[in-house]
């Protein structure tokens, strides 16, 4: 049976994003007080253009800021509108060097119409992980270019949560999927960010 570890830390290691997953399915849970005024250049560029829904997404910008800041190096990034559609698409793709691609799907652990509960978390995790798993297997279709034969993809599901309770529901939903789903989740990384100033950003 697959095991899952969750680690609460305000500063998770860069290696979690760039290195291949080990046996344990580790979930990174951390908090962020990032404000729009603190966004880096990649996040600001995201806010300067419409996504596929023809709106400027703060969710994507927050995720881009956190992930690119963690990588801490020069990189190439494809924003959602620049990614070719396939079975859905991630929110952004980062290329490091010639053959490492970090594919990020960003979502929020919130419900607009009702109180967010475990059923919402279950649906959210199943939908997002299914789409990300399929996208990770079809990188060439998304970037619309020939990639090196030895390329590596690091799919990341980045969940923005307004509090620890919603984060815990997503973690439980993920653990249940590991046991009951036929999805291969071995390569997908899970990062849950508790956005402390969520009323302003989410």
pLDDT tens digits, one per residue of 105-115: 999 999 888 89
- Tokens 């494809």 identify what position? 78
Under 8 Å between Cβ of 144 and 159? no
Domain ranges of the chain: 4-201
**pLDDT at 8 exceeding the cut of 70:** no
**pLDDT at 3 exceeding the cut of 70:** no
* Residue 62 to residue 42: CA distance in whole angstroms: 10
Under 8 Å between Cβ of 173 and 118? yes
* Residue 188 to residue 153: CA distance in whole angstroms: 9
**CA distances to 52, 86, 151, 172 from 49, in Å:** 10, 21, 29, 35
**pLDDT at 1 exceeding the cut of 70:** no
**pLDDT at 202 exceeding the cut of 80:** no
Angle between helix 118-136 and 164-180 (nearest 10) = 60
In our burial notation (b when 16+ CB lie closer than 10 A, e otherwise), range 70-102 reads eeeeeeebbbbeebeebeebbbbbbbbeeebbb
Residue 149: is it exposed, middle or buried by C-beta count within 10 angstroms (0-12/13-18/19+)? Answer: exposed
Predicted confidence at residue 2, as pLDDT, reads 56
Which of 64-73, 147-156, 181-190 has the largest mean confidence?
A: 64-73
- Tokens 């609460």 identify what position? 8
- The mean pLDDT of 56-85, rounded to a whole number, is 91
Categorize the per-residue pLDDT at 57 as very low, low, confident or very high, splitting at 50, 70 and 90: confident
Predicted confidence at residue 189, as pLDDT, reads 93
SS3 110: coil
* Residue 114 to residue 117: CA distance in whole angstroms: 9
Q: What is the pLDDT of residues 129-173, one digit of tens each?
A: 999 999 998 888 898 777 777 889 999 999 999 999 999 999 999
- The mean pLDDT of 80-87, rounded to a whole number, is 84
Predicted confidence at residue 140, as pLDDT, reads 87
DSSP string for residues in 58-91: HHHHHHHHHHHHHH-S--EEEEGGGSPPBSB--S
Predicted confidence at residue 66, as pLDDT, reads 94
Q: What is the pLDDT of residues 39-53, one digit of tens each?
A: 999 999 999 987 776
Question: Does the pTM exceed 0.85?
Answer: yes
- The mean pLDDT of 29-40, rounded to a whole number, is 89
In the chain, the percentage of residues whose pLDDT exceeds 70 is 90
């Amino acid at each position: 049976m697959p095991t899952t570890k969750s680690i609460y830390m305000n500063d998770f290691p860069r290696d979690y994003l760039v290195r291949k997953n080990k046996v344990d399915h580790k979930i990174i849970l951390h908090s962020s007080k990032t404000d729009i005024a603190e966004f880096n250049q990649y996040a600001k560029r995201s806010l300067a253009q419409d996504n596929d829904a023809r709106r400027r997404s703060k969710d994507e910008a927050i995720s881009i800021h956190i992930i690119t800041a963690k990588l801490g190096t020069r990189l190439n990034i494809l924003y959602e509108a620049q990614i070719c559609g396939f079975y859905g698409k991630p929110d952004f793709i980062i290329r490091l060097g010639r053959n490492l691609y970090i594919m990020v799907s960003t979502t929020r652990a919130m419900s607009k119409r009702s109180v967010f509960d475990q059923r919402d978390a279950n649906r959210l995790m199943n939908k997002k992980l299914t789409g990300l798993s399929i996208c990770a297997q079809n990188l060439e279709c998304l970037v619309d270019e020939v990639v090196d034969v030895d390329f590596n993809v690091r799919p990341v599901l980045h969940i923005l949560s307004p509090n620890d309770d919603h984060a815990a529901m997503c973690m439980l939903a993920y653990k249940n999927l590991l046991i009951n789903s036929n999805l291969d989740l071995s390569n997908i990384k899970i990062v849950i960010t508790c956005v402390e100033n969520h009323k302003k950003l989410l």
